Chains A and B, each alone.
Chain A
Amino acid sequence: MVNSLAIECDALRVRRGREEALHDVDLRIQSGSLVAVLGPSGSGKTTLLRSIVGAQRITGGQVTVLGSPAGSAALRRRVGYVTQEASVYDDLTVRQNLGYFRSIVGAPRGDVERVLDATGLADLGGRLVASLSGGQRSRVSLAAALLGEPELLVLDEPTVGLDPVLRVQLWNEFRALCDAGTTLLVSSHVMDEATRCDRLILLREGTVLADDTLPALLAATGATDAEDAFLRLVAAEPGGAA
């Protein structure tokens, strides 16, 4: 069934600056799954996510999202994107930020309170974003992407800078969204977060090292956790070092 694929990348190539950041990436992500993109800094996670939301100029290949070419106008209300750096207005309050994005996506009024609750920000609604901590700011950015209940959420390192309690809370929220039918693609460089996902995509230097479930990955590499599996895959590569 073709339409059960939320994201499809065929031979995706992206050049950023002088270097190629993604080399012939092929990916298939099922609708309704929670998938992690893991990889070290500079491996191309942000570039891949930007290509999927249609913000990245690509050099070659094809990206299809929810049945349409990535970035097409029809997708703009069906895909929610959280950039790596919190992209919200410092000089507005939390509620004013969400109110603005709500009217842009055309979500119902009550949605602002819903996403405030979902991200644990209910008590901070009246605070100026500039006065928030880094983790609080990135939650405001996440809350804005939840407005209008998009079918696909693309989240670039949403849990960076959060304490373990909040991190668990957010992953529970992601799982709940997924159970309700949303597809989530979440990047992270914390390999532990792999245990929370249906599938992992391991990126290294712009190529996909592995795209599998965690148990399958552990079985194939004989590793005990995702981090170990990643190191073993790197070592097993031709010319790989570890």
Chain B
Amino acid sequence: MNARRTLATTGRVLLQIRHDPRTIALLLVVPSLLIGLIAWLFTDTGTFQQIGPAVLGLFPFITMFLVTSVSTLRERRSGTLERLLTLPIGRSDFILGYALAFSLLAIAQALVAVGFAVWVCGLEVEGPIGLLVVVAVADAILGTALGLLASAFARTEFQVVQFMPALVFPQVLLGGILLPRDQMPEVLQAVSDWLPLSYAVDALNSVAAGDAVGEVGLDLLVIAAFAVGAIVLGSLTLRRRTA
């Protein structure tokens, strides 16, 4: 681990994104547009107030998963990763550099999405709005961490895109957005206990319902543990020598 090399990598990734303003615009605007669409769709029912909080965590999670897995895969395929790994950069410097860069983006994205949901779409939140932002950012970081890990197992762009339905959709289905988790069949409920997104949805619902901050903190800890685990696994899968 070396702070200079980690930060150099973060700076480089952010510079690359700065050269791609369209991606920045999509990252910042698309979650809000979808949240607005959901709010509009359920105008005459109470559904938006029910699922709105969870959806706030979902979009940052999904977009960060995709952006991260695609950009690290690109790095593997372009030969820049092979070159970097012959240089004095630690594998954890590389992974943490990426995680840090995308986390910064995630913070911007979460701020925009939460602000839009609360002030434009009228999402009612009993708990502190700042905490809602914190949980949304944690979800985005989780997406980044899982994306880093997933890209290690993809050889092609097609494969990495397939990880979306394979890894992300089941978590969305079982996370408690479509159906509260205590109403699911027992087996699926047990499975969902092992999926990180379940804790994210839980945390967002708790904040919205104005539950004790301690409960949210516990969920945040679980999310952080999953993120750290994915980052550690991800850096172990980086191989300096390949066949």
Contacts and interface: CB of A to CB of B under 8 A. Distances in A.
A55 B239 CA distance: 9
A55 B240 contact: yes
B242 A57 contact: yes
Given A55-B86, A87-B82, A104-B87, A92 B15 contact: yes
B5 A81 contact: no
Contacts of B16: 89, 91-92
Contacts of B85: 55
Given A71-B240, A71-B241, A87 B87 contact: no
- The 5 A-B residue pairs whose C-beta atoms are closest, nearest first, are A87-B79, A103-B8, A76-B88, A100-B12, A87-B83
A88 interface: yes
A83 B79 contact: yes
Contact of A83 (B11, B12, B20, B83): B83
Interface of B: 4-5, 8-9, 11-12, 15-16, 19-20, 78-80, 82-89, 240-243
Contacts of A87: 78-80, 82-83
Contacts of A128: 19
Given A16-B243, A55-B240, A55-B242, A103 B15 contact: no
Given A96-B15, A106-B88, A128-B19, A89 B80 contact: yes
6 contacts: A54-B86, A55-B86, A55-B242, A83-B83, A89-B12, A91-B20
Given A57-B243, A87-B80, A91-B20, A76 B12 contact: no
A56 B86 contact: no
Nearest to B93: A104
A105 interface: yes
Interface in A72-88: 73, 76-77, 79, 81, 83, 85-88
